[in-house]
Amino acid sequence: MRIPAPCRAISVVVASLTVTGVLGSFPKPPAARPAPPLSGKHGAVATEVAECSTIGVDTMKAGGNAADAILASGLCVGVVAAYHSGIGGGGFMLVRYPTSSKKHAYEMIDFRETMPAAGNETMYVTNSTTPQTLSTIGGLAVGVPGELRGWEKLHKRHGRLPWKALFQPAIKLARHGFTVNVDLAAALDSGKSWIPDDPLWAEVYAPNGTLLREGDTAYRKRYAETLELIAEHGADAFYNGRIAVNTAEAAYARGGILTAHDLANYTAIIREPVNITYRNNRIFSTVAPSSGAVVLSALKVFEGYPANFKQSDAEINLSTQRLIEATRFAYGQRTQYGDPAFTSNVTDLEKFYLTPKAVDSVRSQIKDNQTFPLGYYDPTKYTPLEDHGTSHMAVIDGSGMAVSLTTTVNLFWGSQVMTTDGIILNDEMDDFSTPGQTNAFGFLPSPINFIRPFKRPQSSISSSIAEDLLTGEVTIATGSAGGSRIITATMQELHHYIDQGMSPAECTHQARWHDQLSGQTFSPKAATFRCRKGPLRGVKV
């Protein structure tokens, strides 16, 4: 079956630590070839869990659209891959939807977690010389979850099927069990020192006193009851009443400041996406406090170079040098992109860096045979944000409606706090910056990202959708997991797909470089990455 032109391509990137800051080639695919592209005539769904992708497809077969499908799939991912997603977290989504004029419009839904009302910018400052975990483990790390308000906003504006119906597959999985896959088994192993000792966690993941292994069946019965209540009564059931009280109490019991009042006051926000023309496409992406504008800035600079992507060593080395240098300047811009409610003119600034004047200025500072100290790329000399894990998913339906969504609880298992309702709470407050804490290069943390009550921290999420400039049809819906590497993974996905003509499967199969102005390292795990012969242009590996 062939998908109609509006939904012929869809992609999700699962970013992994492969190559960091290496100026070499875009690598050849590993020996194991990627699976051939799939096609269909009604739409496509991409998530990290096969069963959840199937749920999305079944939702569309039942008459649902892309919004319905991603909601049902996303709830499923939150059940199975709870180590980095779920209703205790938040994120961003980019929505492409049909209008009455037979065209399509775009909007961004910001459902990022917020700092509780009692937060302050020195709450994680200590005099201890030992590593601190206040912002990563325990109640003080928990931000106000936004995912359900995000789902609610999407469904009210664009959904077709009943809210309650979309919860049923996830409820069934949580109640009747799901198979522990290799990723969940690895995540459980990372928590082996504490999961079996916590009764709420052990009830799910170590029911016999030992951690579940790959192939075992996991049950989340408390979570199933919670989802059932939300399915019946809407997102308000989470943000008000018993669940809200239980959530606040769980955070408080572990030293937190989250209150039921914080939950009741949370809102998801509609924002206008940013976009650029790139080659023969128009690419839309998410705005601050996320990082879509960073991706687009680097690509726009790169677009100004000749579009010659032959696979000779010299040409690949040169194009890689230019794209990495453009990325470094884009990361320098990112230190100025904070929560728009607390950062003046951030929207104008994002748009300015995409203007011909700004793009040409950056390109004029890039040298084909040289790289520079970090301050060259970031005049403010602020520390680039390092954030953590996520789950990305994307859906396109037969009408050309598309949703590219990234959700997260931050580090594996979030704050390591589970409520009596089976909800795993995020540790998203670690994404804020703290005064006085310089990084290894002597850069200060950006005041743009200091803590304020109700503020949303910066995020690397860069959910993107591209469409053909001539036909207006979707060409790719993409994004990435992988914390700070989301930006470079999404950028390379778009480059591989648009510039090099790779299929979505081939794009995701490539090893990757990463550079965010925090030094360069090389991972030996990137066995498939091969630097071409030629200069490394001054970069330390």
Binding residues for L-glutamate, as ranges, are 112, 408-410, 431, 459-460, 483
Token digits of residue 407 = 């959700």
Token digits of residue 326 = 């453009």
User: How many residues in total does the chain contain?
Assistant: 541
Buried b (16+ CB within 10 A) or exposed e, 346-379: bbebbeebbeeebbeebbeebeeeebeebeebbe
Question: Which residues, 6+ apart, have CB-to-CB distance to 1 below 8 Å?
Answer: 39, 40, 41
Residue with tokens 């789950």: 391
Q: What is the CA radius of gyration of the chain?
A: 22
Whether the CB-CB separation of 46 and 11 falls below 8 Å is answered with yes
CA distance 96 to 349: 24
Strand ranges across the sheet with 104-111: 43-46, 391-397, 402-408, 90-98, 104-111, 269-271
Count of other CB atoms within 10 angstroms of residue 216: 16
Phi (first) and psi of residue 428, to 5 degrees: -70, -15
CA distance 502 to 495: 9
- The CA–CA distances, whole Å, from 423 to 38, 251, 310, 523 equal 35, 11, 50, 34
Could you tell me where the DSSP H helices lie in 353-392?
356-365
Identity at 199, one-letter amino acid code: P
Whether the CB-CB separation of 466 and 282 falls below 8 Å is answered with yes
CA distance 436 to 383: 11
How are beta strands 474-478 and 464-468 bridged, if at all? antiparallel
- The CA–CA distances, whole Å, from 390 to 61, 89, 221, 317, 510 equal 28, 10, 24, 31, 19
CA distance 73 to 64: 12
Catalytic residues: 390
CA distance 99 to 65: 14
